[in-house]
Structure 1
């Protein structure tokens, strides 16, 4: 339906991303406030943590756009998302250390944005590490953001030409 409007691809992408970005940022703010107030969690280098969260959100939203662009229906998009998210949660290191994974599978976890987000967040907040430690993960997230947005734009162009 969006493809038959007079909107440009860039406007479609921005229009789909902004509401989800706003909601996600509001949720992160609530989590940070609750963690600080209720659980007395201290956040070190809050500016760096905010940047890491923002880049991770943009990368994740870009992947959502790619899934949206390749899906022919909402049901198919949900199926693709579940198919993608289950391995991400298991293999990202968010719930169990990556060192517990077999070496042959561990490299797959490096393909997931959540792995790099968790690593960068831990370096900054738990270990008080400097840029030399978290910057590689942040750069991977930036690269993933660029690739996912360019991929979504190219896929939207393909869908447009198919009409």
Structure 2
């Protein structure tokens, strides 16, 4: 059932070229724009691009998943699915799998553009950067599904972005070193998964071999994603109010 739902969602995405283009190509274009703003100056250019590898997948996959899933609920698609003998986790898993395939394409292209096109400097392997980007994209999908499960309209789903995503972007270290923040802000940032995604990326950038901190940071992001998926399945309503 999970695979059947994933296949149906994938067919819908295939017939929406504007959304596919937005999610797949826009992050790479924006990364190129940021590179031009800093005029390729190192090391700040690579540091910002590295942060974007975590931020863009989270942001765009959250928006896409939340809005698209609420739209299906308002159109009655989810209600018809839930009327069948199907588990809530099958529905959530199907949507996560379909959007996850799209996340693979987005993260792969963005990572390739930053590494080869923009000459991002790092000492570790590009595959480990891609793994972090994919995990963060899955986190965005999970948070988007959770937001859609408790939203009655697309507008309500979008309203979760300033609450769920924006604080993570502000406190993950993009605007400045986290150690220079006030103590309570640094503590708050430690409780946000995007911070740990950036930490994992920094480990790849600074060390040629994988460190225990890399795996710990990646596991924290994956745990947040799994928890969000579980909560989304618990809060998914069988009937549209």
**TM-score past 0.5 threshold:** yes
- Cα distance per residue 1:57-115 (max 9 Å; x no partner): 22221111111111111110001123322211111113321112100121111222210
Change (3 A) 1:20 1:117: same
TM superposition outliers: structure 1 runs of 4+ over 4 Å: none
Task: Give the unaligned 5+ runs of structure 2.
Answer: 1-75
* Mean CA deviation greater in 12-21 or 115-124: 12-21
Question: Whole-Å Cα distance in 1 between the matches of residues 194 and 209 of structure 2?
Answer: 19
Q: C-alpha displacement at 1:23, in angstroms?
A: 2.5
1:18 aligns to 2:94 (yes or no): no
> CA shift at 1:9, angstroms?
1.8
1:66–1:148 CA contact under 8 A, matched in 2: yes
Matches within 5 A, 1:87-98: 87-98=167-178
8 A contact 2:108–2:130 mirrored in 1: no
Alpha-carbon distance between aligned partners in 2 of 1:37 and 1:130, rounded to the nearest angstrom = 21
Question: How many residues are matched?
Answer: 161
Partner residue of 2:88?
9
After TM superposition, the score normalised by the length of structure 2 is 0.60
**Residues 8/154 of structure 1: CA separation in 2 closer, same or farther (3 Å cut):** same
Rounded to whole Å, the distance in 2 between the matches of 1:95 and 1:29 is 25
Instruction: Provide the TM-score with structure 1 as the length reference.
Output: 0.85
1:60–1:113: 8 Å Cα contact kept in structure 2? no
